[in-house]
Amino acid sequence: MNKNRASRGQERKLLISLRSGEPPDTGAPGLGGANDPEQGVVGAQGGARRFRLTRWFGLVSMALVAAITASSVSLLGWFVTQRMLWQEGTLTRDFVQSLILVETPLQRFLAAPGPLPPDVLVSFEHIARIPDVLRANVYDRQRRVIWSSDPTLIGRQFGPNPELDLALRGDVVVEKVDAGDELDTKAEHVALVTPEALFVEIYVPVRDAAGQEVLGAIEFYKHPRGLTLLLADLRRWITLGALAFGALLFLALFGLVRRADRIMQSQERRLLDNEALAVVGEMASVVAHGIRNPLATIRSSAELVQELAPAARTEAADIVAQCDRLGAWLREWLGYAADTPLRPAALALAPLVHSACDEVAIAAQRRRVQLQAELPEDLPPVLADPLLVGQVLRSVLANALEALPRGGRVCFDARADATTLTLGVQDDGPGLSKEARQRAGQPLFTTKPQGLGVGLALARRVLRRHGGQLRIDDAAGGGTRVEITLRRAAA
């Protein structure tokens, strides 16, 4: 007696927990009860706010990609600019050296500066007329200006100039000066008129004809218009390329993370569904245990009536038959709710559909619902467990009938492709809202006042175990359409 009371109390606790959406306290370790050490962790995690991986990854990765793109544009722009300027300096050096080799008087003048001969002046004027040159200064080895395109600088010797010192040691030095940079840092910049854009200082060593001894150095202030335009185009293309690569990288990574996030969310939902369905399985076991004992007593009493009261033998036989039917249904339900091993076999769906319709025929007549199950006879068989798929059909058909309290129609149809067969169950009831349709099939979700929200959830799990799926959509013309997809049996 006490055991039965405890069983009924546990059943009530399970039912209340399922309706409230909370895991039950079974009092047993490993079942989410009071003795389960993981329960506190799960509860704490369930109350925490969910981390939005896709959103945060999108924001952080976009910022990082933008920073990397900006750094790459800056670094590549600097590198290309330096290489192009160095090329400009090299070309200028080669031009000057070729001029020295051709102009013998110019060599003698640079080796021993003195009064400026007319032919040397002509050579210097050729140098000053090099395209884009703003000013040209010629220095001897004592760092004195022996000629300049600005006559006021001739004969002057300026203060420290590291670039000039390097040129007198034989190096080509190129220095870029951007618009807006201060020009008063060097004394030789005096009276220099600069454009509102980039210009460069080029220090070229002047060697003797043998190319061994440095005779002096020439300082060029140039505004390379062609180079400026070329660098602007290069920067533009580098920027566009970096932006395109950054966008491609961001989209690729974001797509992968978004897909991974969706997979994790799906796995999380399945884990929660499995936990809820485990509770349902436990409830089914408790309910079955609570029903079997009274059912056995009823059956025994009916058999006794058959022996002692011949006048009530027919009624007693009906009671025995119904008890057997309920017992068989309980065994099927336990197998349906629990993860029992599958026994797949080649299964024809048409007879199974007709059998399910026959079972609910009386209920359908009472609700004034027409059942139309005219399926093709040549439907290919599917590979499935007959008992479990039968329960799936009965669950889907029961939901369709409950959606038609004032009459209507439930239709079955089927289509097959090379690998699967899809059975459609469609009613012309009021249908489901968008939110209800999205949540339909989740454990413990139901739109029925007396429902538990386990039928479609168990059906979906059974079909997943078979490698199939259950899909719920709006029906054309109103109502709800449920599609059951299973794999075809091998021919």
Left if phi > 0, otherwise alpha if psi is -120 to 50, otherwise beta: which for 351?
Answer: alpha
Least confident of 22-26, 245-249, 291-295, 331-335: 22-26
Q: Which of 237, 252, 279 is the last residue of a domain?
A: 237
Higher pLDDT, 51 or 278: 51
Instruction: Report the pLDDT value the prediction gives residue 17, as an integer from 0 to 100.
Output: 43
Domain assignment of residue 325, yes or no: no
Domain assignment of residue 472, yes or no: yes
Q: Which of 212, 237, 262 is the last residue of a domain?
A: 237
Give the CATH number for residue 129: 3.30.450.20
Checking if the pLDDT of 452 tops 60, the result is no
Q: What is the tens place of the pLDDT at every residue in 366-420?
A: 888 888 888 887 889 999 988 888 888 888 888 888 888 788 889 999 988 889 9
Instruction: Report the pLDDT value the prediction gives residue 123, as an integer from 0 to 100.
Output: 81
pLDDT band at 14 (very low <50, low <70, confident <90, very high): very low
Instruction: Report the pLDDT value the prediction gives residue 333, as an integer from 0 to 100.
Output: 64
Checking if the pLDDT of 317 tops 70, the result is yes
Q: What is the tens place of the pLDDT at every residue in 46-85?
A: 445 677 888 888 888 888 888 888 888 888 888 888 888 8
- Number of structural domains found in the chain: 2
Domain assignment of residue 406, yes or no: yes
Instruction: Report the pLDDT value the prediction gives residue 27, as an integer from 0 to 100.
Output: 41
Instruction: Report the pLDDT value the prediction gives residue 487, as an integer from 0 to 100.
Output: 92
Checking if the pLDDT of 37 tops 50, the result is no
Is 219 found in the same domain as 77? yes
pLDDT band at 281 (very low <50, low <70, confident <90, very high): low
Instruction: Report the pLDDT value the prediction gives residue 129, as an integer from 0 to 100.
Output: 81
Higher pLDDT, 473 or 491: 473
Domain assignment of residue 127, yes or no: yes
Higher pLDDT, 175 or 41: 175
Is 359 found in the same domain as 217? no
Is 223 found in the same domain as 351? no
Checking if the pLDDT of 30 tops 50, the result is no
Q: Which of 237, 268, 300 is the last residue of a domain?
A: 237
Least confident of 183-192, 367-376, 381-390, 475-484: 183-192
Checking if the pLDDT of 331 tops 60, the result is yes
Is 75 found in the same domain as 195? yes
Give the CATH number for residue 356: 3.30.565.10
Domain assignment of residue 207, yes or no: yes
Instruction: Report the pLDDT value the prediction gives residue 16, as an integer from 0 to 100.
Output: 41
Domain assignment of residue 146, yes or no: yes
Is 371 found in the same domain as 229? no
Instruction: Report the pLDDT value the prediction gives residue 485, as an integer from 0 to 100.
Output: 92
Q: What is the tens place of the pLDDT at every residue in 118-170?
A: 888 888 887 888 888 888 889 988 888 888 888 888 888 888 888 888 988 98
Is 365 found in the same domain as 229? no
Domain assignment of residue 206, yes or no: yes
Instruction: Report the pLDDT value the prediction gives residue 486, as an integer from 0 to 100.
Output: 92
Checking if the pLDDT of 328 tops 50, the result is yes
Range of the domain at 463: 341-487
Checking if the pLDDT of 296 tops 60, the result is yes
| Mean pLDDT computed over 242-263 | 87
| Mean pLDDT computed over 342-364 | 87
Domain assignment of residue 308, yes or no: no
Checking if the pLDDT of 446 tops 60, the result is yes
